[in-house]
Amino acid sequence: MDGFGVMIDRLCGHHKKDAARLTDAIGKVIQKVWTDDHALILEFEDGSGLGFSDEGQSCCEARYMSTDDDLAYFAGSTLQGAELREGPDMPGREEHNTQFLLVATSKGVFTVVNHVEHNGYYGGFAIRVLERNV
C-alpha cells in the first residue's frame, strides 16, 4: 500500500519537472557522484548538480538508498540517462520494499537501491530529481 506522502507526490505532478531537470543534465560531464544514505548526488563540471531522493516520507517509515557500485569510477563520465525499475520485496518482520535507480553514463551503468521499511501502511516511492547547488 502506498503511503500518504507518496500519494500526495503523485497528485502534485512533479514528474514533468523532474523529467525536464534530468533531460537538461543529459550530456553533462559528472565531476563527482555519491550517496548520503538519503540521496544520490551528481555534481557536474559546469558547476550544476542534481539530486535523486525519495520524497515520499509520511510518518515513521525508514527510507534510505544504498549501492554496491564504486561511484568514484564514474567521475569524468557523461550522463546519458536514468530510469527506475521495481525491485523485490525483502523478507523480514515488517514490510521492506525496494526500487532500483539505474543511471547510465559513458562508462556504463550504476545502480542505486531505494529502500522503504514500514508497517504495511507507508510503502511506495516518490523519487524526485532536484537541482542541487554545488
Domains of the chain by residue range: 4-131
Give the tens place of pLDDT for each residue, 64-93.
Answer: 999 999 999 999 999 999 999 988 777 776
Listed in sequence order, the DSSP H helices in 39-104 are: none
The whole-number pLDDT of residue 5 equals 47
Identify the three-state secondary structure at position 47.
coil
pLDDT in tens, 4-61: 444 455 555 667 888 899 999 999 999 999 999 889 999 999 999 999 998 877 777 7
Q: C-alpha grid cell for residue 125?
A: 516511492
All residues at 6 or more sequence positions from 116 whose CB lies less than 8 Å from its CB, including other chains: 54, 56, 61, 62, 63, 95, 96, 97, 122, 123, 124, 125
Q: How far apart are CA 52 and CA 112, in angstroms?
A: 10
Grid look-up 525496494 returns 98
